Structure 1
Amino acid sequence: MSDAIAQDTQSKAAGREHPNQFALLGQRRFAPFFWTQFSGAANDNLFKFAFTVMVTYQLQVSWLPPALAGLVIGALFILPFLLFSATSGQLTDKYDKTFMIRLVKNLEVAIMLVAAYGFWTDNVVVLLACVFLMGLHSTLFGPVKFAYLPQVLNERELTGGNGMVEMGTFVAILLGNVAGGLIVAIPEVGRQDVAIACVLLAIVGRAVAQMIPSAPATDPGLKVNFNPVSETWRNLKLAHGNVVVFRSLLGISWMWFFGAVFLSQFPSFAKEVLHGNEQVASMLLVVFSIGIGIGSLLCEILSRRHVEIGLVPLGAIGMSVFAIDLYFASRGLGDPGASLTLSQFMGIAAHWRVLADLALLSLFAGLYSVPMYALIQLRSVPTHRARIIAANNILNALFMIASSILAGIALKIGMTIPQIFLAVGIANALVAAYIFLLVPEYLLRFVAWVSSRFIYRFDVKGDENIPTQGAAILVCNHVSFVDAVLLMAASPRPIRFVMDHRIFKVPVLGWLFKLAKAIPIAPRAEDPAAYEAAFAAAAQVLREGDLLAIFPEGAITRDGTLQEFKGGIMKILEQQPVPVIPMALTNLWGSYFSRIEKGGAMVRPFRRGAFSRVGLNVGTPVPAAQVQPALLRERVAQLMA
């Protein structure tokens, strides 16, 4: 166990060498992969959008009217996700991920050569077949894309890496759509130029994929089940085995439902509500994509380079607030008979609120989705990770299909597009509240994140000593009623706390600690049964490989000094010998949530001023065999100094 924590510490220390996520673009383990997925996403959208424009504006196809073209192309692209995601997840777990990436890029080159023939000869049937095959290409790449990252990035880099990939994907989608629309519109040679561009982009992507380093198989002995129905069900059951992961999959799928409503309605929203032309519709897509990209990149900055799922409730709140405000911002705009150009549209002040709502809505969607993806990658069992991602892709596809159906029904019964946005914004708030009550970890991390940034200025040193995997005991001095909240904010993983039973009677904080499944402990003389039950529960936490935190002083200090450490930790270590990590909270004495020498806690809210600076110093792990209460107290005292 000590070796595992030492390796984990070295891995996180290596992550500190890279100042931010952009530094990953200079490294071979990430850069070739990033540009490979970027070129694939760009090519997907260049091809699809050029084809959509071609059958909408340039060709007259009796059996594919323009009004249905976009829906048919979208449905054909999504269909492979339902049929083949389960198989692609198995293949990704079974084989080297770099081998899978190169195989998928070879397939892309072949598909684009066939598509080039379709563009050159105006063969709509061939191009529809290529849409389906490009959907298959994306289905195969999806599990590889998200299973590769946790294999080459450590925990401190995972949020930033996911943010870069998410940002890159939306920028690629935007550039692909813009390029596809511009190239196919070139008189006489547009379709031929699209054919050439698609093939060249596929070849470039394949060339870059050759530079991706090997990422060995995580389950090479896996027997592939090619039955999509039974394997899809098996994958969903596999994902359901980890409650936090499965409900995170549902949360991501809801985000795609939410986003699909807006993306699918942009053309109609621009024309019928904003009274703008095609340029205005494109502008909405640009703003949405930029917002997602900025939100994705902000995740690393706001998370202190950890997988910070406390950002998810923040993202959900922003999504609802700005979706609802978009409804109010888009009422009674302009002349229904107008068709505003982009410059005319931008010249009307009321339209800037619409664009701001759209940008902030998508920015918060980025804050919502990136930590969830990182959490799934971090918490999934490595041998099953790709199959979990495949289950996610299946759920995403189902939610997006449901989104299209429900939006169509809403329009059919007479709802306006702004009313649909309002309904989705309200539904998002209800769904988010439901998810956060089912998985309290999100809400707890949000409270910890807010507390450590907006109540205190919280500085953590030595957090690389907190293990990202394996059992360990955290011991810390006890200064205030929010010590546990601050430790939550510093840890990349959930922590179970052993806490004095009286703290559960404190309003709000007591409810919060019950939500965190903290373990109440009472003195043996006062309640022997509760005393023994607390130690049994603590040992069970460690047996399950989780983090346990205790405050060995037994009570909050009344004078700011470090009290004697009680011997309860020895009783826990007798049952489960694990490393012990000493910690010290600093500069917290005298703040609102601590006691003061002449009075209690939580009086005079600003007695230390707002945003007062506090700290946490984390020491190196102490092996179980060396642990003694006096030694731990000495280590904590050194950290306090």
Structure 2
Amino acid sequence: MSQKSQFSLLAQRRFAPFFWTQFLGAFNDNVFKTALLTILTYDAMHWTNVDVGLLNNLIPGLFILPFLLFSATSGQLADKFEKGALARNVKLLEIVIMLIAGAGWMTHNLWLLIGAVAGMGIHSTLFGPVKYAYLPQHLKTEELVGGNGVIEMGTFVGILLGEILGAVLVVHKPWGLELVAGGTLAIAILGWITSLRIPLSPAAAPELKINWNPATETIRNISFSSKNRPVFLSLLGNSWFWFYGAIVLAQFPLYAKNYLHGDHEVFVLLLTVFSFGIGTGSLLCERLSGHKVEIGLVPFGAIGLSVFGFELYLASEAYHSVATVDMMGFIHQAGSHRIMFDIVMIGIFGGLYIVPLFALIQTRCDPKHLSRTIAGMNIMNALFMVVATGFAILMLKLNFTIPQIFMATAILNAIVAIYIFSLVPEFLLRFIAWLLIHTIYRIRGVNTNRIPDEGAAVLVCNHVSYMDAIVIMGSSPRPIRFVMDHRIFKIPFLSWIFRTAKAIPIAPAKEDPWLMEKAYVDIAQALHEGDLVCIFPEGKLTATGEMNEFKGGVMKILDRSPVPVFPLALRGLWGSFLSRDKSNVFERSFSRGPFSKLELVVGEALEPGSVTPEILQEKVKTLRGEWK
């Protein structure tokens, strides 16, 4: 799917009405919330005597509290009922909530407005599981990263426009409150109208009996999700992102006012550059991932969140202007561009972090339980964001400055990221593979869509260099268990990579018969569990660039596990730094230059009964052609 076709989804009914319904919901949320936060920050004396810093952290906390209380029920509703009708009912609820908020604006009743904040939290709680379970129901697997990227871009553009409109409307004299009240009601009605076009989205589990006890259902949801380790830790990683974002974004109003000495326009500018960054990062995911679910981008995003979070602290400490400024005045201040750049980069790396996590959850979760899994994620998001609110309030009570809060959050992010990626090494492995194929190598996949999205299969490939497994891993949409010579398996550093990837070492019977038998048992177990297993039937690296004779180990595998076999061919690796080319290593490295071109070609599936080593060798040789 090309970059153009990522946006072509917006012209299709299976995507567009849902996109605009989601967009308008995010837009309205933020018109309302930002208007309330802005009026409390810049006109607090006319509304309340409560500490403004406390309210700036409390209001976002109240918005996400319904996620904690009602997500378990909303997930069940999204699995049991048709999603289009459910979305329309949620939009009707939004109209009612905006009517209540309008009464609060007109009567200057702060607590009625705060109640409406909680109401919009309920609205978003009910819509969340529908949002992420809808996409895999209507998009192809190769469209999911692009579709999620467009949804996330639209969400944050909606947030951005909502924040700008909310901050601008509420301070408009003399009709600011009336404009906010009428505008949010009009947006809610428009959202309901767009939801009428959402196509039929059949229930995933219509037979489901709803458990109305949120406590027991919450425990059941999280327990079910925890059984799928990569999915569960992706849920945790997603929730951590919202912890990070909740802390950082909640500080922006007072950061703009007290540290940058700006008016509400400066606050809007900070939100604008952050939302621009998130939207950009979300759209970049499809391009950087090669149109597949590339979880290698997640560590890349985590690194950026920590680096630029810490850099924002340094930039803030270096900002010394004390003049009160509007947006243009701030832009012309020394150090302002550095601050804006850091915030944009936090947004970009946030997009690179969050979109692949959503796509992984959608593709590796049981479809009949996807809405409830998303609900479980929303529960964890709520828990993390409530804790984030408390954590931010605690740091303020301990006299942390807002730049110091940015620094502490960045350091904590690094610690948590290292912990999560140590538990799921697949993220780091895919990151290493992603780096290699975007720096040292430039790899082109040919018919890689033939690699099955699910189910057991054996992949066979020619063996050219020590990097073969990593190149194949980086081109596959799924994890692969590699079978490799035990001597290569033990190479320093590469050994860590292979062990982390759960590679299976094998030795010839004359060297270590026990290890050989154990390898075949491990291969059979992996195939029984539905994994992909890749073998190099030559048994050793080529020393000439030509293929060695394929050995009969693949037949032993198929005798125990009769699964489809896919021939693969690597082209362009011979002569690379880690091949066995005997020419001068430095000369060949420099002659190839950076971004060496490679290809991985995938052939059509072969039935296990039609496979012989000779047939496989001929298939792989034909796929490789003359390019070594």
TM-score range, shorter chain: over 0.9
| Counterpart-to-counterpart distance in 1, 2:14 and 2:259 | 46
1:603 and 1:512 map into 2 onto residues whose CA distance is 28
- Asked if 1:634 is matched to 2:625, the reply is no
Deviates more, 1:230-239 or 1:172-181: 172-181
| 1:97 has 2:49 as partner | no
Change (3 A) 1:107 1:438: same
Cα distance in 2, alignment partners of residues 131 and 270 from structure 1: 23
What does residue range 393-542 of structure 1 map to in structure 2 within 5 Å? Answer: 393-542=378-527
Q: Post-superposition shift, 1:271? A: 2.6
Q: CA deviation at 1:58?
A: 7.7
Deviations 1:147-206 (A, max 9, x none): 111111122111111111111111111211221222233334332332222222112111
* Worse-matched range after superposition: 143-152 or 197-206: 197-206
1:23 is paired with a residue of what secondary structure?
helix
Give 1:505's aligned amino acid: K
| 1:298 equivalenced with 2:295 (yes/no) | no
- Which residue of structure 2 lines up, in the alignment, with residue 239 of structure 1? 225
Distance 2:291 2:60 in 1: 36
Task: Quote the residue 1:571 is aligned against.
Answer: 556
Q: Give me the TM-score of the superposition, normalised by structure 2.
A: 0.95
* Whole-angstrom CA distance in 1 between matches of 2:464 and 2:320: 60
Letter in 1 for 2:606: V
1:114 & 1:330 partners in 2: Cα distance? 39
The yes-or-no answer on 1:83 pairing with 2:62 is no
AA aligned opposite 2:24: S
Equivalent residues of 2:84, 2:198 under 8 A apart: yes
Q: Aligned runs of 1:158-169 on 2, under 5 Å?
A: 158-169=144-155
2:598 is matched with which residue? 614
Q: Which amino acid aligns with 2:294?
A: E
Alpha-carbon distance, 1:273 to partner: 2.4
Secondary structure of residue in 2 paired with 1:177 = helix
The counterpart of 2:95, out of the listed 106, 109, 122, is: 109
Identify the residue that residue 551 of structure 1 maps to in structure 2: 536
Q: Give yes or no for contact 2:523–2:557 (8 Å, CA) kept in 1.
A: yes
In the TM superposition, residue 455 of structure 1 has moved relative to its aligned partner by 0.7
Tell me whether 1:325 sits opposite 2:311 in the alignment: yes
Partners of 1:23 and 1:624 lie apart in 2 by 40
- The 1:71–1:18 alpha-carbon spacing in structure 2 relative to 1, beyond 3 Å, is closer
Alpha-carbon distance between aligned partners in 1 of 2:39 and 2:379, rounded to the nearest angstrom = 30
Q: Which moved more, 1:179-188 or 1:289-298?
A: 179-188
Task: Return the match for 2:375 from 390, 395, 403.
Answer: 390
Gaps of 5+ in 2: none
The one-letter amino acid of 1:401's match is V
> How far, CA to CA, are the matches of 1:124 and 1:426 in structure 2?
36
Alpha-carbon shift at residue 217 of structure 1 (Å)? 1.1
Alignment pair present for 1:209 and 2:209? no
2: distance between equivalents of 1:220 and 1:207? 26
Q: Which amino acid aligns with 2:241?
A: M
Q: Give the Å deviation of 1:63.
A: 7.1
Cα distance in 2 for partners of 1:65, 1:364 equals: 33
1:127 maps to 2:113: yes
5+ residue gaps, structure 1: 1-15
> Quick check: 120-129 or 88-97, which moved more?
120-129
Change (3 A) 1:226 1:495: same
Q: Are residues 1:381 and 2:366 paired?
A: yes
- Post-superposition offset of 1:549: 0.5
Which residues of 2 match residues 344-355 of structure 1 at below 5 A? 344-355=329-340
Aligned residue identity for 1:90: Q
1:46 lines up with 2:22 in the alignment: no
Supply the distance in 1 between the matched residues of 2:30 and 2:483 (Cα, whole angstroms). 53
| Match in the other structure for 2:251 | 265
**TM-score, length-scaled by structure 1:** 0.94
User: How many angstroms apart in 1 are the aligned matches of 2:2 and 2:436?
Assistant: 28
Counterpart CA distance in 1 for 2:616 and 2:546 is 15
Change (3 A) 1:448 1:335: closer
Closer/same/farther in 2, CA of residues 278 and 60 from structure 1, 3 Å limit: closer
Q: 1:55 to 1:357 in 2, by over 3 A?
A: closer
Cα separation, partners in 2 of 1:604 and 1:561, compared to 1, 3 Å:
closer
Give aligned-pair identity as a percent: 53
Specify the alignment match of 1:191 in structure 2.
177
Length, aligned pairs only: 624
Query: Quick check: 1:592–1:608 contact (8 Å CA) kept in 2?
Result: no
Matched-pair contact (CA < 8 Å) for 2:473–2:479: yes
**Alpha-carbon distance between aligned partners in 2 of 1:194 and 1:346, rounded to the nearest angstrom:** 28
Contact 1:591 1:607 in 2 (8 A): no
Alpha-carbon contact 1:594-1:602 (below 8 Å) kept: no
Q: What is aligned with 2:131?
A: 145
1:219-264 CA distance string (max 9 Å, x none): 1111111111111111111111111111111111111111122101
Determine if contact 1:111/1:130 at 8 Å carries over to the other structure.
yes
Pick closer, same or farther for the CA change 1:260–1:99 going to 2, 3 Å. same
Shift of 1:582: 0.8
SS in 1 for 2:160: helix
1:379-423 deviation per Cα after TM superposition (whole angstroms, max 9, x unaligned): 111111111111111111111121121222222222222222122
Work out the CA distance in 1 between the residues paired with 2:55 and 2:397: 19
Q: Is the 8 A contact 1:18 1:24 kept in 2?
A: no
Deviation of residue 436 (structure 1)?
A: 1.1
CA–CA separation in structure 1 for the residues paired with 2:34 and 2:383: 22
Secondary structure in 1 aligned to 2:284?
helix
Cα gap change, 1:551/1:199 in structure 2, threshold over 3 Å: closer, same or farther?
same
- Tell me the CA shift for residue 51 of structure 1: 3.6
The structure-2 alpha-carbon separation of the partners of 1:335 and 1:417, relative to structure 1 and needing over 3 Å to count, comes to same
The reply on whether 1:170 has 2:156 as its aligned counterpart is yes
- Report the Cα distance in structure 2 between the residues aligned to 1:270 and 1:65, rounded to whole angstroms: 17
> Which residue of the partner structure matches residue 6 of structure 1?
none
Residues 390 and 174 (structure 1 numbering): CA distance in 2 closer, same or farther, change over 3 Å? same
Amino acid at match of 1:563: N
Q: Distance in 1 between matches of 2:348 and 2:221?
A: 31
Please state how far the C-alpha of 1:523 moved relative to its aligned partner.
0.5
CA contact (8 A) 2:473 2:480 kept: yes
Instruction: Please list the CA deviations of residues 97-144 of structure 1 after superposition, one character each: whole Å capped at 9, or x if unmatched.
Output: 222211211221222233334434444444333222211110000111
Q: What amino acid is the match of 2:220?
A: R
The alignment yields a C-alpha RMSD, in angstroms, of: 2.0
Following superposition, the deviation at residue 597 of structure 1 comes to 4.2
Supply the AA of the counterpart residue of 2:200. S
Equivalence map 1:352-363=2 (5 Å): 352-363=337-348
Change (3 A) 1:259 1:74: closer
Shift in alpha-carbon separation, 1:269–1:124, aligned structure 2, 3 A: closer
Shift in Å at residue 490 of structure 1?
0.6
Contact persistence 1:317–1:429 (CA under 8 A) = yes
Per-residue deviation, 1:605: 4.4
Deviation at 1:67, TM superposition (A): 5.3
